[in-house]
Homo-oligomer: A and B are copies of this chain.
Amino acid sequence: MDFAAQFQAYRDRAEQGLDRLLPPGTTRPARLHEAMRYALLGGGKRLRPVLVLAASDLFGARHDALAAAVAIECIHTYSLVHDDLPCMDNDDLRRGRPTTHKQFDEATALLAGDSLLTFAFQLIGRHYAGQPGLAAALTREIAEAAGSERLVGGQMEDLLAEKKTNATAEELEFIHLNKTAAMIVVSLVAGGLCGGATDAQLDGLRTTGRHLGLAFQIVDDVLDATADTATLGKTAGKDAKAGKTTYVKLHGLDASRKFAREQTDAALAALRSLPGDQKFLAALIESMASRLN
């Protein structure tokens, strides 16, 4: 298996799905739909939709997982658009381009974020209308992952932690598990649902995703502390400058790298409990950790 080629193939499918499933920029109101497309189609790794598609393929991909993949990327993107707003992280740069509120204005970015979140559920409703059991399960899993006790809860605690600049290790884990890992977990679970995974297999996907999500966030923290803005495509060293508590600040670089390695190994172990050809997902999980080398 050529990992890079396979990743690119999944990524291309995701990009095409995003472009095709999003309403055209000319849809009324045009400014809103242009902002949605600007936020969504500005590049990015597409890690989450790739995870959806790859997880679905593990189980034979009984139902097309593309709409679920696009829905999850819409939610991820909405969370970035709102996170970048002046009242949140107040960031000007995202994926090497002006953030949505810089390119348009704050109100348009707010509404574009709201629209992207809602559109995720429109997509599930439209594309799985013929499989109501699947539509209902996807709605349930995705909404729970994106909700006040997971994704948004993580953002809220992240914000509170920034203000006090002395968050505990326990608070930091809550933030990582919810702000980052929840959407990684649900990417794998949504793929599993489309592929026809059993409940036990869905649990295996959850465990894989939780470890992968933690590894991913810690690698991000390490890169923020060690890489430059051009490499990252977003403002580097921002966490330290803001006095923000990160895994690196709390435990140091060496312990962070070690923890990332442990979480990567745990993700790989959980993946091995699943059926199908796991080579691609194993290489993807490994590639996260290897960003640190």
Q: Using a CB–CB distance below 8 Å, which chain A residues touch chain B?
A: 23, 27-29, 31-33, 36, 78, 82, 85, 87-88, 105-108, 110-111, 113-115, 117-119, 121-122, 124-126, 128-129, 132-133, 135-137, 139-144, 146-149, 152-153, 155-157, 159-160, 174
Whether B126 and A156, one on each chain, are in contact in the complex, defined by CB atoms closer than 8 angstroms, is: no
Which chain B residue has the least Cβ–Cβ distance from A125? B140
Whether B114 and A143, one on each chain, are in contact in the complex, defined by CB atoms closer than 8 angstroms, is: no
Whether A149 and B27, one on each chain, are in contact in the complex, defined by CB atoms closer than 8 angstroms, is: yes
In the complex, what's the smallest C-beta–C-beta distance from A172 to chain B, in angstroms?
14
In the complex, what's the smallest C-beta–C-beta distance from A180 to chain B, in angstroms?
16
In the complex, 21 of the A-B residue pairs with CB atoms within 8 angstroms, ordered by the A residue number, are: A27-B149, A82-B114, A85-B110, A88-B110, A107-B159, A111-B159, A115-B147, A115-B153, A118-B147, A118-B148, A118-B152, A119-B143, A119-B148, A121-B139, A122-B143, A124-B143, A125-B139, A125-B144, A126-B140, A135-B140, A136-B136
Known: A27-B149, A32-B148, A114-B114. 12 other contacts (CB 8 A): A78-B114, A87-B106, A88-B110, A111-B155, A118-B148, A119-B148, A121-B139, A124-B143, A129-B140, A132-B136, A132-B137, A135-B140
Taken together as a complex, chains A and B put the C-alpha atoms of A157 and B125 apart, in Å, by 25
**Chain B residues with CB under 8 A of A142:** 121
**Chain B residues with CB under 8 A of A110:** 82, 85, 87-88, 110
**Chain B residues with CB under 8 A of A113:** 114
In the complex with contacts A23-B148, A121-B121, A132-B132, A153-B82 CB distance below 8 A = no
**Chain B residues with CB under 8 A of A32:** 148, 152-153, 156
Oligomer: number of copies = 2
**Chain B residues with CB under 8 A of A156:** 29, 31-32, 108, 111
**Chain B residues with CB under 8 A of A141:** 125
**Chain B residues with CB under 8 A of A146:** 118
**Chain B residues with CB under 8 A of A107:** 87-88, 159
Taken together as a complex, chains A and B put the C-alpha atoms of A143 and B129 apart, in Å, by 13
Contact of A135 among B23, B87, B139, B152 (CB under 8 A): B139
